[in-house]
Amino acid sequence: MVAFLALRLRSVACSLLLLALLPVAAPLRAWEIEPGTRVPPAPVAEAVAAQRADDPGAARRSMQWSTLTPSAAGAQVHFLVFERDRGQRAWLLDADGRVLATVPRGAAASGEVGTRGLTLALPPAGERPLWLAVESTLGVFPHARIEDLGVFLAAERADWVFEAGLGAVLLALVVLSLAFHVSLRDRMYLAYACYLALMLSALWMRHPVAFRHATALGLEPERVAALGVLASALAAWAVIELMRAAAGIADRHPRALRLLRGLALGNVALAVVDVATILAAPAVAHTVFTLINVLFGLTALGSAGLLVLAARDGSRMPWVFLAGWAPLVACGAWFSLGPLLGAPQPDSPRYYILVSCALQGLIWAVALADRALCLQRERDLAQALAENDPLTGLPNRRALDRALGAARSGVVMLLDLDRFKAINDRFGHAAGDECLQRFATVLDAGLAGIATYGRYGGEEFIAVLASPDVAAARATAERLRADTERLQVDLGGVRVVLTVSIGFAPIVDGAAAALAAADRALYRAKSSGRNRVEMEPS
């Protein structure tokens, strides 16, 4: 069962890799977009202020504007005004302040649900209709792109396929991880399932579609985005717990782990404050959000450092976790701290974040599947050692009792070496051990494939024959007796002939009754001169 789950986990991981390879549409440059660094012209600012006049929450949301210059000669410059702080809406205006297009918070002006944030149609700059997509990384930092309408719609469909596939695969990983946890009782898989579920929640709550439907749920888009930040903070805490369980960091570097867990829990506390203040005190929420980004970066770098230290101690698992963690750490630092530090941002940041999630899921899923297989092999080996007789290599009493308990038909056979105590007393226990080992080879040759057999204790052996044919059982027992009698063991220059007494009984009223009957038959064989086969009805 565990092997099947591990193989399924690997196949799901491969699906993640295929999703990560989907292409991204390249933007067109029929319009040039220049992010503004100053207040837009007065007519534009006045028009936007009039648009926001009836919104009581507008005062808590800052504005960002960009200049759109068409490549066509003599065409008029336009201005894109974007409302920030996780409440997303936008206006496209000309230089005279006329509103050319309006995008309500989180809505698509086209009437179609898009995936990349705010979308609105541009006046033609030439012969082809163009489309403006404003993509907002993590619900905060906007990036405007201009695309051909056909390319834009194709990219929208590709985005839906990618995100739906990624969500389905991550959900499958959650289910498989929970199944591993139930099967192996390893909390690492529970931590991984929690991390995946929180990551899915974070991606959804900071997705443009979630912003669009926030009002229907009675939530402001800002509040939804803040809840996404909280889910991300909880996911980071789950990652620390996952690494603690899987990479052995707790045993190697307990103080550093405690510090890292403190940072992660501190980030969770700040995220709670962000949720509570995002509407009532936006200035406080903005400061808290900046601190959250800083702590995210410290937590990511600290976890990577701990993984490196753990890997240097000789463990392979930390290297695998580090390889999966690195892309998401890099993207998180780039898109969370980059805008604060003035670092350049790509045209499609959300795609990079999703690809990083896919790569992380791929690498960690393969690692966890391999771990599950290793754990199962270790448990199988431990079970084999616990149920095998170390001297003869045959199943021991525990395994035989389990076989007897499962038997519903067949024949139970008891085999006991004759005068074994005398051999031990005369030649020593090492000689007795050799006799037991040689007799085990006789059982292997005569019973393999037709019975479950093993050493029950001392010089006594048990065989449970699957066939209920009593005549065939007697023939098998006689063959074993004869093969044992032909077995001559050289003990210190003295050739000793081994003999065995055998009693058997059919399973009629249960294996326990058959075992008792076989024991009576064995006693009769011993009493009748040994080296005999006797049957007792059960």
Check: CB of residue 12 under 8 Å from CB of residue 171: no
Please name the residue that has the structure tokens 């980004």. Answer: 293
Check: CB of residue 8 under 8 Å from CB of residue 176: yes
Classify 318 as helix, strand or coil.
Answer: helix
Classify 245 as helix, strand or coil.
Answer: helix
Q: Does the annotation count 459 as an active-site position?
A: yes
Maximum CA extent, the chain:
120
Taking alpha carbons only, the member of 261, 512, 489 closest to residue 405 is 512
- Residue 436 DSSP label: H
Q: Which strand (E) or helix (H) includes residue 133?
A: strand 130-137
Q: How far apart, in Å, are the Cα atoms of 501 and each of 169, 470, 478?
A: 62, 17, 10
- What gap in Å lies between CA 94 and CA 122, rounded to an integer? 11
Q: How many of the other CB atoms lie within 10 Å of CB of 355?
A: 23
Between CA 92 and CA 100, with CA 95 as vertex, the angle to 5 degrees is 30
Of 222, 459, 534, 536, the active-site residue reads: 459
Find the DSSP H helices in 279-428: 282-312, 317-332, 338-341, 349-386, 397-406, 420-427
- What gap in Å lies between CA 136 and CA 116, rounded to an integer? 8
Q: In what order do the strands lie in the sheet with 533-535?
A: 451-457, 460-465, 411-417, 500-506, 533-535
Which positions are annotated as active-site residues? 459
